[in-house]
Structures are given as structure tokens and as C-alpha cells.
């Protein structure tokens, strides 16, 4: 394995991190939005969200991706591999995020919400000041869990031609007929990426604990 | 705690079931109306070419750049074609599906011509000889000829023509009272070779060219004998893109005439195949 091979795997790492980040950053708020629609039981929309979540949770990511990639051009929507990958990741992760957010919302004490109402907070204020800070704390472990799964599911994006860490490693193995060294480099790259995510979670949790102790 | 009234969602779910049912019928319609582009359309928007990324010596990636037999031909095609060529590099899994749904105009890879594939695809003139051979570990003394393969575990690529033609080997073995052993399918060949080296399969079946390259690079393996009749790989286009097929066949004929085809075959396969047919009608 040459230096340029290792560089190729690092390039794959950039793709993995970028796609995962985009997926997480778009999927997170969409998941929250979906969870709120179900929580508030918005007529009709709540039913559609339920259907969306169950369908997406039942569809393997790779199948969803192939469907988007090959079916959308037929109805006149040209889609390149990267956009197809992002859309598939966001659709998939938002469904799972929705359920994590919803579990936090369901365990949210109703009396606090009523107390906020009684002191005259508007809906937006109630959500921002009372609900959100508490559900973030409850949801965080579940959300980070889903995020780390998302990072590790990115190798399936290779079926449409996205070259992530694993695909870059596979290519090198196919050229040298020595698949083990590139796979070792690949594994060594996933670990710090997920570790960075987990460190971020710990940092947020520590900050919250500190804020609570101060209050 | 908010309560969730179930009465209205019951009514909703019936409508949703209906929507689901409708979706089942609409989805195939979305997929079914693919139409291959004519040459005029290709001239305007460019030719979209799909190649593989881990199929040495035909197409593979070295130092981040696509190389191999087919990729060198694509370079020539860029000079020959009066239109732009856009290349997409992806794993085998999506390639033929992409061509038959017209996502790509042509798969410039070594797709073996088979009867089944001919139902949805059309093939150019063959680009090499793809008679199937077996490869084994050099230190495995239990295999010295085809009849020794009886009952042994074989590795092949899933969805490949090699897998489809294994019954031919089965027939050869049955003549001597043997039978085909367990078949293990892999998404691509590097994994199959790795498992052969580890002893999890006893032999791997692939085309003569792929195996010759492998054995030259990895002396732990040893090339066996032919396990199929005539077989040829070619480039694939959608079944109804006649104009494009003629154009590509014209290009291949010109490359053959100028001697460039033989030169590239020698470079990448170690030998030239001067007697390739212009068109091939597969038996299998």
C-alpha cells in the first residue's frame, strides 16, 4: 500500500464525515419537527408522519437509495450520486430521530407545560424555554446513538458511486490484491470520527450538569 | 402528558392503507417508463458512461485515477466521439440496472454476454475472451484436474454470468460421477480471492483474463483449466439504443483495424485475441 493509497482513504474520510454531518444537521431538526407534529396530534399531518416514520424504518437504506437514484430520473428529476446519498440519509435518519425526540416529548411532565401557560408564556416561548432544553437533555444519548449508526451506515452509499472510507479501501484491495492493510487503515479512521462525536456529547452533558448545579 | 385520541387515527389509518395500496401500483409505473436516448440527444448532452472501480485488469482505480483496459479505450473514445463523454465510476451492483433504466447510456465494462441479459440489454462486439477458468491455492495438492473439483466449495460473484454458467461445470463433473459442491457468492472478486487464500473456499471461478492477472500478481494461487464453453465480455447498452450500439461497434472496429485494440489487450491481459467475433449469440 503506497502513500497515495492512504491519501485516497483519507479523501474517503472527508466524504464520510461531510455526508454524515450534512445528514445529521438536516435530519435532526426534521426529526424534531416530525416528532412535534405527532406530539401535538396535528390533524391529518400526524397521520402522514406516522406513516412516513413506519415506512422509512421498514426500508433498508440501500434499497431506498437505489430506488431514489434509479427511479427519480424517470419522472424527470435528475439526481447525482451525492444528492441521492444525502436525501436517502436524511430521510432515513429523520425517521429514527423523530422517535427519539418523541420519546422525550412523551415523558415531558405536563404540569410544567400548564405552569408555563398559567404564567402567560406564548406557545413559542413555552417550547423554547421550557420544553426544548429538557427534551434535548433526555434525547441526547439516543440521538448520538443514531448519529454514530448513521456514520457507520455510510459505506452502503457506495452502491451509487460515492467513494467513502470503506469504498476507497475496497478499491485499493482490488488493485493490490491485499485487502487487509487498507481495511485496517479504514477501521482506524472510523474510531476517531465516532470518538469525536461521543466527546461532543460528553461536553454538552457536562455543561448542562454544571448549569444545573449553578441554578 | 398529552392524550392521543385513537378514534380519528383509526379512520386515518384506513385512508393511509389505501394510499399505500396506490403507491404499490404507482411505483412500478415510475420505474417502467425508461427510454433509451437516441444519438441526437446524446450529441446534445454528452454520452454518460458507467465503469466499475474494482475489476482489475478491465477497470480499476490506481492512485485515485481510473485505469485499466476499458479506461484506456475511453480515452481513445473521447478523441473519436464528436460529443462529450461523462464517466461515472461505481460498483458492479448498480451498473447494469443503471443502463437498463437509462441512467447511464453504456456500461463500458466486461459484461459477459448472456441470453438472460440480452432480454433487457444489447451488447457491442466482444472485447476479450472470457472463457471461465478455475483458480486454486498452489499448495492445495488435492486439486489437479477438473474432476477433483467434485464436492469442493466454489466462490463466484453474485449476479454474475459466471454464477449462471456453473451448471456447465456441474455437467462436466457429473460425467465422471461427481457433483458441484457448495457455492459461495460474493459481491465482488477481491473478497472471493481473500477467502480462497484463507481456505474457506477451495476454488474460485472467474474469466481467464482476470485470473491470469491475479496469478501473475499473487503466486500463492495457481490457474486451473477451462470450466465453460465459449464466453465473451462486451459493453452493454439499453436494448433499444440501436444507434449508439452501431456507433460503439464502429469505434471498436476502428480500434481493431488500427492495431490499438490488440496493443491494449497485450498490455492489460498479457495476450491479444485476434479472432474475436464481431457479434456473439450466447447459448446460455
Q: Which residue in the set A7, A158, A175 is minimally distant from B62, CB to CB?
A: A175
Q: Which of B32, B103, B193 to mutate to test the interface with A (most CBs of A within 10 A)?
A: B103
Contacts with B218 from chain A: Cβ below 8 Å:
177
pLDDT attached to residue B92: 87
Q: What is the pLDDT of residues B173-215, one digit of tens each?
A: 999 899 999 999 998 898 899 999 999 999 999 999 999 999 9
Q: Is residue B77 predicted with pLDDT exceeding 60?
A: yes
Contact B61 A179 (CB under 8 A): no
pLDDT attached to residue B3: 46
Contact A177 B190 (CB under 8 A): yes
Q: Is residue B93 predicted with pLDDT exceeding 50?
A: yes
pLDDT attached to residue B142: 95
Task: Give chain A's domain count.
Answer: 1
Please state the pTM of the whole predicted model: 0.81
* Domain spans in chain B, listed from the N-terminal domain onward: 39-129+232-269, 132-226
pLDDT attached to residue B31: 52
Q: Which residue in the set A47, A110, A180 is minimally distant from B16, CB to CB?
A: A47
Contacts with A6 from chain B: Cβ below 8 Å:
none
The β-bridge partners of B54 are B60
The CATH number covering residue A18 comes to: 1.10.3720.10
Query: A5 and chain B: CB distance < 8 Å anywhere?
Result: yes
Contact B53 A174 (CB under 8 A): yes
At CA B209, angle to CA B206 and CA B211, rounded to 5? 50
Contact A177 B60 (CB under 8 A): no
Query: Which 149-178 residues of chain A touch chain B by CB within 8 A?
Result: 158-161, 163, 167, 170-171, 173-175, 177
Contact A174 B194 (CB under 8 A): no
Q: Which ipTM was obtained for this model?
A: 0.78
Contact B20 A11 (CB under 8 A): no
Other residues' Cβ atoms within 10 Å of the Cβ of residue A154: 24
Asked if residues B148 and B256 have their Cβ atoms less than 8 Å apart, the reply is no
What does the alpha-carbon distance between residue B220 and residue B214 come to, in Å, rounded to a whole number? Answer: 10
Q: What is the pLDDT of residues B97-136, one digit of tens each?
A: 899 888 899 999 999 999 989 999 999 999 999 999 999 9
Q: Which residue of B has its CA nearest to A66?
A: B94
Q: What is the pLDDT of residues B131-177, one digit of tens each?
A: 999 999 999 999 999 999 999 999 999 888 899 899 999 999 999 89
Residues of chain A with pLDDT under 70: none
Contact A7 B61 (CB under 8 A): no
Contact B55 A167 (CB under 8 A): no
CATH code linked to domain B39-129+232-269? 3.40.190.10
In a 10 Å sphere around its CB, with 0-12 CB exposed, 13-18 middle and 19+ buried, how is residue B136 labelled?
A: buried
Which residue range(s) make up the domain with A191? 3-214
Nearest alpha-carbon partner for A16 in A155, A179, A159: A155
pLDDT attached to residue A113: 87
Phi, psi of A2, deg, nearest 5: -95, 175
**Cβ–Cβ pairs < 8 A, chains A and B:** 109
Q: Which residue in the set A11, A74, A159 is minimally distant from B31, CB to CB?
A: A74
The β-bridge partners of B157 are B186
pLDDT attached to residue A141: 95
A21 CA: distance to closest CA in chain B (Å): 23
pLDDT attached to residue B26: 63
Please give the share of chain A, as a percent, with pLDDT higher than 90.
80
What does the alpha-carbon distance between residue A67 and residue A84 come to, in Å, rounded to a whole number? Answer: 9
Contact B30 A173 (CB under 8 A): no
Q: Which residue in the set B54, B64, B94 is minimally distant from A66, CB to CB?
A: B94
Indicate if B132-226 has the same CATH topology as B39-129+232-269.
Answer: yes
Contacts with A37 from chain B: Cβ below 8 Å:
none
Cα A156 off chain centre by: 15
Q: Which residue of B has its CA nearest to A113?
A: B1
Task: Please report the beta strands in chain B, taking only residues with DSSP state E, as ranges in sequence order.
Answer: 47-51, 54-55, 59-62, 65-67, 85-89, 106-112, 121-123, 132-137, 154-157, 183-186, 203-207, 221-226, 233-238
Contact A51 B19 (CB under 8 A): yes
Nearest alpha-carbon partner for B229 in B282, B160, B176, B269: B282
What does the alpha-carbon distance between residue B137 and residue B199 come to, in Å, rounded to a whole number? Answer: 8
Q: Is residue B2 predicted with pLDDT exceeding 50?
A: no
Contact B12 A174 (CB under 8 A): no
Contacts with A171 from chain B: Cβ below 8 Å:
53-54, 60-61
Q: Does domain B132-226 have CATH number 3.40.190.10?
A: yes
Q: What is the pLDDT of residues B6-65, one digit of tens each?
A: 444 455 566 666 766 676 666 555 555 556 778 888 999 999 999 999 888 999 998 888
Contact A174 B15 (CB under 8 A): no
Summary mean pLDDT of chain B: 88
A5 CA: distance to closest CA in chain B (Å): 6
pLDDT attached to residue B6: 43
Contact A175 B60 (CB under 8 A): yes
Contact A177 B63 (CB under 8 A): no
pLDDT attached to residue B1: 44
Amino acid at each position: 500500500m503506497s502513500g497515495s493509497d492512504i491519501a485516497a482513504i483519507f479523501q474517503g474520510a472527508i466524504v464520510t464525515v461531510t455526508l454524515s454531518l450534512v445528514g445529521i444537521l438536516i435530519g435532526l431538526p426534521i426529526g424534531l419537527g416530525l416528532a412535534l407534529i405527532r406530539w401535538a396530534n396535528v390533524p391529518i399531518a400526524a397521520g402522514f408522519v406516522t406513516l412516513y416514520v413506519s415506512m422509512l424504518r421498514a426500508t433498508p437504506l440501500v434499497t431506498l437509495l437505489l430506488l431514489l437514484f434509479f427511479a427519480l430520473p424517470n419522472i424527470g428529476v435528475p439526481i447525482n450520486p451525492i444528492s441521492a446519498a444525502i436525501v436517502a440519509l436524511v430521510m432515513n435518519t429523520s425517521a429514527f430521530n423523530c422517535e427519539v425526540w418523541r420519546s422525550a416529548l412523551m415523558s415531558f411532565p405536563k404540569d410544567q407545560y400548564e405552569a408555563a401557560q398559567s404564567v402567560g408564556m406564548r406557545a413559542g416561548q413555552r417550547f423554547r424555554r421550557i420544553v426544548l432544553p429538557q427534551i434535548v437533555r433526555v434525547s441526547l444519548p439516543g440521538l448520538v446513538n443514531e448519529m454514530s449508526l448513521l456514520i457507520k451506515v455510510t459505506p452502503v452509499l457506495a452502491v451509487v458511486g460515492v467513494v467513502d472510507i470503506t469504498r476507497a479501501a475496497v478499491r485499493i484491495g482490488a488493485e493490490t490484491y491485499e485487502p487487509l492493510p487498507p481495511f485496517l487503515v479504514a477501521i482506524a479512521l472510523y474510531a476517531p470520527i465516532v470518538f469525536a462525536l461521543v466527546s461532543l456529547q460528553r461536553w454538552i452533558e457536562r455543561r448542562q450538569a454544571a448549569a444545573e448545579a449553578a441554578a | 402528558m398529552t392524550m392521543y385520541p385513537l378514534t380519528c387515527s383509526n379512520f386515518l389509518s384506513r385512508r393511509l392503507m389505501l394510499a399505500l395500496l396506490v403507491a404499490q401500483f404507482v411505483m412500478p409505473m415510475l420505474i417502467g417508463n425508461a427510454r433509451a436516448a437516441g444519438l441526437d440527444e446524446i450529441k446534445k448532452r454528452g454520452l454518460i458512461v458507467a465503469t466499475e472501480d474494482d475489476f482489475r485488469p478491465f477497470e480499476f482505480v490506481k492512485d485515485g485515477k481510473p485505469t485499466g483496459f476499458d479506461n484506456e479505450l475511453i480515452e481513445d473514445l473521447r478523441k473519436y466521439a464528436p460529443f462529450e463523454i461523462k464517466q461515472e465510476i461505481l460498483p458492479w451492483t448498480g451498473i447494469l440496472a443503471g443502463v437498463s433504466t437509462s441512467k447511464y447510456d453504456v456500461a463500458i465494462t466486461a459484461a459477459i454476454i448472456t441470453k438472460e441479459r440480452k432480454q433487457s440489454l444489447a451488447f457491442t462486439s466482444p472485447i476479450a475472451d472470457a472463457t471461465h477458468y478455475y483458480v486454486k491455492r498452489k499448495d492445495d495438492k488435492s486439486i489437479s484436474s477438473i474432476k477433483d473439483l467434485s464436492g469442493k466449495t466454489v466462490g463466484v460473484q453474485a449476479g454474475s454470468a459466471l454464477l449462471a454458467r456453473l451448471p456447465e461445470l456441474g455437467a462436466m463433473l457429473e460425467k465422471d460421477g461427481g457433483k458441484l459442491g457448495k457455492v459461495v457468492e460474493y459481491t465482488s472478486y477481491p473478497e472471493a480471492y481473500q477467502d480462497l487464500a484463507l481456505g474457506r473456499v477451495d476454488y474460485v471461478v472467474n474469466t481467464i483474463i482476470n485470473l491470469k492477472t491475479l496469478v501473475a500478481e499473487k503466486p500463492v494461487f495457481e490457474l486451473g483449466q477451462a470450466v465453460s464453453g465459449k464466453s465473451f465480455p462486451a459493453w452493454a447498452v439499453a436494448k433499444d439504443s440501436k444507434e449508439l450500439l452501431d456507433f460503439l461497434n464502429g469505434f471498436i472496429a476502428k480500434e481493431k483495424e488500427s492495431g490499438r485494440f490488440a496493443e491494449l489487450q497485450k498490455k492489460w491481459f498479457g495476450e491479444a485475441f485476434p479472432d474475436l467475433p464481431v457479434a456473439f449469440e450466447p447459448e446460455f
